[in-house]
Amino acid sequence: MVALKNSAEIKAMEKACRISAETLQLAGELIKPGMSTKELDRKLHEFIKKQGAVPSFLGYGGFPGCACISLNDQVIHGIPSDKVIIKDGDLVKVDVGAYIDGFHGDNAATYAVGEISPEARLLMDATRDSLYKAIEAAVPGNRLGDIGHAVQSHVEQFGFGVVRDFVGHGVGRKLHESPEVPNFGTAGKGIRLLPGMTLAIEPMINAKGHEVKILKDGWTVKTVSGSLSAHFEHTIAITTNGPVILTRP
């Protein structure tokens, strides 16, 4: 069942989402060559605590970090580690959420470290653009398939692959709520989008092929092809006036 939120609940969610967005922005400012992903994670955790919030991901299903930090051909769910050192040329994906006043926020971004290849730049830009196209499609009266179709039709024109095995989701009192929000689909199909839905829309896009596998650590998801992958995510609310991005700093 989809938990629709009233305007007071959406108002309450704004705080969790703002903290999530500020944490993600901080990640972008902190990332530099030579830093371990654990050190980055520690700083993000400190920031979230200072806001009086709790990291949504820490301990979720046993996840051992505050943020998921995934490099290059890793798609999502990278575990922060002292042994993983960020280098020039890396694509660093940070996915982080904050919980406060009974609600979660959830957002993600891909950051380029120094110089990256034109192909990597195109992948990042196309993935980010596909997120905003999906958000534009999240209007009352549209259907869930319109969101996935917006992502898929945008990125596939570049030959990129939409990850199928992991999808976006409802978010609110729980980190993962109904419905699932695939990044692929058919326009005009699926459940009707309604005011009061709060969704985490999160295209995960591979440079080559859509297949992914989970590493032996039980968490890290990487591309089967070994190609780069990009990920962007916002938490949005669907209102009678259209979509509102809640994860804005």
Contacts with Mg ion by CB under 5 A: the residue count is 3
In the bound state with Mg ion, the residue whose beta carbon lies nearer, of 91 and 200, is 200
User: Is 73 among the residues that bind Mg ion (CB under 5 A)?
Assistant: no
In the bound state with Mg ion, the residue whose beta carbon lies nearer, of 75 and 200, is 200
The CB-of-144 to Mg ion minimum distance in angstroms stands at 16
Residues 6+ apart with CB under 8 A from 154: 126, 129, 130, 133
In the bound state with Mg ion, the residue whose beta carbon lies nearer, of 106 and 177, is 106
In the bound state with Mg ion, the residue whose beta carbon lies nearer, of 38 and 176, is 176
E strand spans, the chain: 54-55, 68-71, 74-76, 91-100, 103-112, 161-162, 168-170, 177-181, 198-201, 204-206, 212-214, 221-223, 229-231, 234-239, 242-245
SS3 24: helix
User: Is 147 among the residues that bind Mg ion (CB under 5 A)?
Assistant: no
SS3 109: strand
* Conformation bin of residue 211: beta by default, left when phi > 0, alpha when psi is -120 to 50: beta
In the bound state with Mg ion, the residue whose beta carbon lies nearer, of 40 and 200, is 200
User: Is 14 among the residues that bind Mg ion (CB under 5 A)?
Assistant: no
User: Is 106 among the residues that bind Mg ion (CB under 5 A)?
Assistant: yes
User: Is 200 among the residues that bind Mg ion (CB under 5 A)?
Assistant: yes
The CB-of-196 to Mg ion minimum distance in angstroms stands at 19
Residue from 133, 147, 129 nearest 199 by CA: 147
The most distant pair of C-alpha atoms in the chain lies apart, rounded to whole Å, by: 48
Segment interacting with Mg ion (CB under 5 A) among 41-49, 67-75, 105-113, 214-222: 105-113
Q: Which stretches of the chain bind Mg ion, using CB under 5 A?
A: 106, 200, 202
